[in-house]
Structure 1
Amino acid sequence: MFPRAIGEPDLHPEPGRPLTPSAAPGRRDDGAKPLPPPLDSPGKPGEQRSRPPFVQHSVPPMTEAVARRALLRFVASRCCYGSRAAGELAIRQLRQLGTYRYRLETFSESRLSEWAFEPFTKPGAARRPGEAPLDPWDVEVGAPPLFQGQTRRCRVPRSALVRDCHRCHGHGRSKCGVCHGAGRTRCVTCKGSRRRLKQQKRCQLCSGTGRKRCNTCSGRGSKTCATCQGEKKLQHFKQLVITWKNNVFEFVSEHHLNFPGELLSKVSGEYIFKDENVVVYPIVDFPEPEISLASQRAIAEHSAAFATSSRILRQRQTIELIPITEVHYQYSGKPYLYYIYGLENKVYALDYPERCCCGCTVV
C-alpha cells in the first residue's frame, strides 16, 4: 500500500461505501474541483495605455431605389406577402437614423481538476514514491484561436497512482449478477418444474434438472470485471478539464423608435472603434454618454465575474454604428411605414398593406 499524500483522495474507502457510482473505465472517482488562477495571471490590469482613436463616421446614405429593393427582397422571403404593393407604393420620406452597439468580449480560460481511472496495463507508468505531480496551471495546453470557445481534457503529468480495483477487490473477476455466482439459472422452458407443463414429460432443455447453465457467465459463476477489464488494478490520475469561453457583454443605445431592439443583434454595423489587449480600459469620452457608461459597467462586471475563477487571456471592445432608415410611404391613399436596418439592409414592416392573415411573424 502506498502512503497517501496530503490532499490526495482516499482511493480505498471503508467496506460498504462505494467509491464511484459507475464502473466504466475512465470515469471520475472524485468530485471535480475548480482551480483558482495563479496570482501572476496575464489578465491583471497594468499601467494605463493609450487607446485607439474613434473613427469619423456618418450614417451611410439611403436612396429610394435601395429602399425599394430591400422591401421587395423582404416581401419575396415571406409566403403571405404580395409584391404588388412593394412595386407600386410611393415613398414620401427617408429618415436616416442610427444607433450605437457596444460589445465587450472577454476570452477566459478555466480549469477543473478531477480524479479519473483506467485499467492498469502499463507497468512503470505510475508515479514514483515522493514524486510530486505537476501543478495543474503549469500543464501546457495549446489554446484555441482567440475568442473561440472550446473544452479539452488532459491528464496531469506525474499524478498517476496504482491501486487494486475497488469493484473486484483485485481479483480481476466479479460475481455474475444473473446467476449470483451459482453458474446455473432456472430453466426458462419448465420454469424450474423439471417437466413440460402441458405434456407432463421431462423437460428436454434442462434434462429434467429444472436448471441450466448460465449464458451470461458460461457457467463459471463470475465474469471479467468491467471496471478493470480483468487487469486487477486501476491507474488513478488527475485529469484537467480546460474550458475556453468567449464571454460577451452587449449594449445597444436607445433609439426611441417603434422598432424591436433585439433585431439589431442579428445585423452588423460599421466599426468606429476597436480596442484589443490582454485587458482593456473603460471608455470615458465617447460622444454618446450611454456607451461610456456601458463600457465602464461591462469591464467591471467581467472583472468581478472572471478574475477569481478564470484566467483572462484577452479582451476586445468595439463600438459599431448600426444604420436605421425610417421609410414613410403611401399606398392606395393610406400612409405606411417600414424600417431598413443594418449593413445587410434588413427590413421590419409591421403594417405592410398586402398580406394574408395566416399569422406569419415579421422579422
Structure 2
Amino acid sequence: MFQPGGGAVYPQPNPTAPPVYGNVPGYEGFMAGGAGGFVPPPAPLHPLPTPDTQPSQVDWNIPSISEDAAQTAFLEYASENCCYSKAPAKDGVITNMESFNTYRYRLETFTEARITEWKTEPFTDQAVDFGLQTAPTPWAIQVQTPALFKDHEENIKVPNTSSVKDCHICKETGQTRCDVCTGSGKKNCSACDGSGKRFQDTCDSCGGSGKENCTECNGDGLQQCETCEGRKQLLMFINLKITWKNNLEDYVAQQSSGIQIENLSSVTGNRLFHDAQYMVYPVYGFPDPNVSQASDRLVKEHQSKFSQSGRIHQQQHTIELIPITKVSYKWKGDSHLYYVFGNESKVSTDYPATCCCVVM
C-alpha cells in the first residue's frame, strides 16, 4: 500500500492494551510489580547420590622427571622470552632435583537457571498472540540442553504473551530529540570549533556565528526513535532467559615444594579419579585426608546452594596428581632454582639473566 508521493504506508493494527503484569495466567508470582525475576525450579526428579563410586587403590606417586627433561623445559622457557639470555638454561649445572606430590580435587556442577522479564522490540508485523491460549509456565517450556559443563545462554519469547503498545519513548511520533544538537538543529562549527574565527578572520564556513546545521539530524533537531526504530509501536512480551553455567571449584592440597598455588591453575595432572552423575557422592578414604575433607565440604555446599538457585543437571569431580619437580642448579658460581610442573612441563622461576627489550 502506498500513499500519494510514493511513501509506503505500513498497516497499523489497533494496539492491544499490554497485559496487566499480574494478569498473565501462570506468571502471577514471577512478574510481581512487572520486574520479573528468578523462577524457582521444580522439585528434582532424581534420587540422592549414594557412595557407589570411590577411588580405586592405585599408585598415588609420580616419579621425578629426568635431568634431560628438566633442562629441556628450562631451555624452552628461556627461548620463549626475548628478554631472557639462554646462558643460564644452557650452561647451568643441575645440583639437585626433588619431586613433590600435589593433589588437586575439582568439583563441577552444571546448572540451569530461568529468569522472566518484560521485553519490547519494534513492532514489524510480528505475530500478536496474547490471550489466544494460556501461556506455558517458565519451566514447562521445552528446550534442548546444551553440551554438559559448558556455559550457554538462550532467550525465548514466551508464547501467548505478545501484545502491541504505542511507543512510550517517542509518544507515537517515531522521532526523539537529537542527541548531538539536543534538539536545536545546530552544532558547533567544525571549521572553527564554535569560535566564529579562523586565523583572526571571520570563519567562512559559519559566517562568524560559530554554528552549523547538525549533520546527524540534517538541522531538524529530531532523530529516529531508537526504541521503536521509527515504527511508533512496540511488541511487548515476556522473555524467558535461560542460563546454563558450569560452576567449578578447585582444592589443591598443601605441599612443601614452595611453588605458588596459582601457577598450578594453568596445567593438567595425572587423573587418578573421575566420577560423573546427576549428583556425586563425596570422596572418602583418599590417602590424603585433606582431599576427602575438601570433597565432603564442596559437594555439600554445591548441592545445597545450586539446588536452590537453579536446576542441577549433572555433577562431576576429579582428583589429579600434579607433578612438581624442584630443580636446584648453579650458574656463574651462584645457586638458583626453578620448578617444572604439570603434564605440560611448565616452568616457574626468578630468572637470573634478563635484559631490557625494545620492540620496534
Equivalent position to 1:356, from 346, 350, 354: 354
Q: For 1:147, what is the secondary structure of its paired residue?
A: coil
Which residue of structure 2 aligns with residue 79 of structure 1? 82
Contact 1:176 1:222 in 2 (8 A): yes
Which residue of structure 2 aligns with residue 156 of structure 1? 158
Which residue of structure 1 aligns with residue 276 of structure 2? 276
Which residue of structure 1 aligns with residue 40 of structure 2? 36
**1:263, distance to aligned residue in structure 2 (A):** 0.4
Contact 1:174 1:222 in 2 (8 A): no
Contact 2:271 2:318 in 1 (8 A): yes
C-alpha distance in structure 2 between counterparts of 1:332 and 1:185, whole Å: 75
Unaligned runs of 5+ in 1: 10-28, 179-183, 189-211
Contact 2:253 2:290 in 1 (8 A): yes
C-alpha distance in structure 1 between counterparts of 2:176 and 2:335, whole Å: 81
Which residue of structure 2 aligns with residue 202 of structure 1? none
**1:299, distance to aligned residue in structure 2 (A):** 1.3
Q: How high is the TM-score relative to the length of structure 1?
A: 0.72
**1:255, distance to aligned residue in structure 2 (A):** 0.7
Equivalent position to 1:7, from 7, 19, 22: 22
Given residue 234 of structure 1, which amino acid in structure 2 is its aligned partner? L
Which residue of structure 1 aligns with residue 110 of structure 2? 107
Q: For 1:173, what is the secondary structure of its paired residue?
A: coil
Equivalent position to 2:94, from 87, 91, 95: 91
Equivalent position to 2:119, from 116, 141, 157: 116
Q: For 1:272, what is the secondary structure of its paired residue?
A: strand
Unaligned runs of 5+ in 2: 1-15, 25-32, 179-183, 189-212
C-alpha distance in structure 2 between counterparts of 1:102 and 1:303, whole Å: 17
Equivalent position to 2:131, from 128, 131, 155: 128
**1:275, distance to aligned residue in structure 2 (A):** 0.8
Change (3 A) 1:332 1:157: same
Q: How high is the TM-score relative to the length of structure 2?
A: 0.72
Given residue 256 of structure 1, which amino acid in structure 2 is its aligned partner? S
Change (3 A) 1:3 1:166: closer
Deviations 1:157-194 (A, max 9, x none): 1222334444566xx4367747xxxxx989x9xxxxxx
Change (3 A) 1:120 1:62: closer
Given residue 92 of structure 2, which amino acid in structure 1 is its aligned partner? L
C-alpha distance in structure 1 between counterparts of 2:185 and 2:86, whole Å: 76
Contact 1:217 1:223 in 2 (8 A): no
**1:39, distance to aligned residue in structure 2 (A):** 1.7
Which residue of structure 1 aligns with residue 322 of structure 2? 322
Change (3 A) 1:283 1:168: same
C-alpha distance in structure 2 between counterparts of 1:336 and 1:316, whole Å: 40
Contact 1:173 1:224 in 2 (8 A): no
Query: How many correspondences in the alignment?
Result: 305
C-alpha distance in structure 1 between counterparts of 2:332 and 2:127, whole Å: 88
Contact 1:176 1:217 in 2 (8 A): no
**1:106, distance to aligned residue in structure 2 (A):** 0.8
Q: Whose Rg is larger?
A: 1
**1:30, distance to aligned residue in structure 2 (A):** 4.5
**1:101, distance to aligned residue in structure 2 (A):** 0.5
**1:55, distance to aligned residue in structure 2 (A):** 6.0
Deviations 1:18-39 (A, max 9, x none): xxxxxxxxxxx95341111112
Change (3 A) 1:82 1:315: same
1:1-363 alignment, distance < 5 Å: 7-8=22-23, 30-40=34-44, 42=45, 45-54=47-56, 56-57=58-59, 58-122=61-125, 125-128=128-131, 131-167=133-169, 172-173=172-173, 177=177, 227-228=227-228, 233-350=233-350, 352=351, 354-356=352-354, 358=356
Aligned-pair Cα RMSD in Å:
3.7
Contact 1:147 1:245 in 2 (8 A): yes
Contact 1:328 1:338 in 2 (8 A): yes
Change (3 A) 1:222 1:73: closer
Deviations 1:263-318 (A, max 9, x none): 01111100000011111111121110111111111112222322111111111100
Q: For 1:38, what is the secondary structure of its paired residue?
A: coil
C-alpha distance in structure 1 between counterparts of 2:96 and 2:223, whole Å: 83
Contact 2:95 2:330 in 1 (8 A): yes
Change (3 A) 1:69 1:226: closer
C-alpha distance in structure 2 between counterparts of 1:118 and 1:255, whole Å: 56
C-alpha distance in structure 2 between counterparts of 1:3 and 1:217, whole Å: 35
Percent of pairs identical after alignment? 36
